[in-house]
Amino acid sequence: MGNKIQYPTPNTLKNLITWRLLAVLALAIGTGLLVIFTNTQSTAVPTKTLYTEDSTSLSIPSPKSHPLPPTLAQWQDKTNSGDYFSQITTTQVGYLIWSQFPVRVYVQPPKAISSQQAQAWVNSVLQAVQEWNAYLPLAVVEQPEVADIKILRKAPPLQISPNNKIPRARSAQTNYELYTNNKVLLHRFTILLSPSQSGNYLVAAARHEFGHALGIWGHSPLQTDALYFSQVRNPPPISPRDVNTLKRVYEQPTSLGWP
């Protein structure tokens, strides 16, 4: 880096704070660490962290298409329900597509409740996971360190919208992060489900957030879809439109899974 960073003289508290912030920024750049924060727009566009495990710099591969997973390749919508692919948001690495299967899922057993309640919570979450397993190969693992998707019973951080300074509680949130392993660009997810959710609403929240984690990085405008943008009184199951959208996502190019 040819240019030398000039720090302000910390004569005042304001200058001192500025100096410290610049020092932290310089350290992050010097170590090759890049962290990207974005405003959360509902549950589908959360904070994203970009970093690398096996090098000090991250070079994003050119987007290419992966073969369709057999379960999606065989999927046919006989009702011609359509999709909401136009609502899917692309990312700095293209579409959030898994290319290594089965996708490994870890469900953390809650500790702050009774063992019976904890098992009921895990069973509800696993029900949603099993529903998506019909369309993409999934495997439940017991070690969080090997998981591609981790699901936790934890309240998401409060959200402050740009036009409203009052914090707003959320029932769930999905985060992803990018990393490299053996020079291959990969990603992994963390899903937070609020402890206030139970019963059918818990299953619906887990079903919805898991759809995001599988690649549906956006929301449906129809209440009959699992990825509808808001919680409804009678949560719907995974719809043909949800699967049609998922299939179209997996037909797109991505930088993920490529060296």
**What pLDDT does residue 165 have?**
61
Would you say how long the chain is, in residues?
Answer: 259
User: How confident is the prediction along the chain (259 residues), in pLDDT tens digits per residue?
Assistant: 444 434 444 454 444 444 444 444 343 333 332 333 222 333 443 444 444 444 445 679 999 999 999 999 999 999 999 999 999 999 999 999 999 999 999 999 999 899 999 999 999 999 999 999 999 999 999 999 999 999 999 999 887 666 666 555 678 999 999 999 999 999 999 999 999 999 999 999 999 999 999 999 999 999 999 999 998 999 999 999 999 999 999 999 999 999 9
Q: What is the pLDDT of residue 244?
A: 98
Find, among 211, 213, 97, 90, the residue nearest to 150 by Cα. Answer: 213
Q: What is the pLDDT of residue 177?
A: 96
- Residue 7 has a pLDDT of 41
pLDDT at 100: 96
Summary mean pLDDT of the chain: 82
DSSP string, 147-170: -SEEEEE-PPPPB--TT--S-B--
Top CATH class of 35-250 equals: alpha beta
Helix-, strand-, coil-residue percentages of the chain, each rounded to 5: 30, 20, 55
Which pair of tokens denotes residue 253?
A: 């190019």
Q: What pLDDT does residue 169 have?
A: 64
3-state secondary structure of 179: strand
Q: Give the pLDDT confidence score for residue 59 in this predicted structure.
A: 77
Angle at 227 between CA 214 and CA 63, to 5 degrees: 40
Domain ranges of the chain: 1-31, 35-250
What's the pTM?
Answer: 0.78
Cα–Cα nearest to 35, from 53, 54, 50, 52: 50
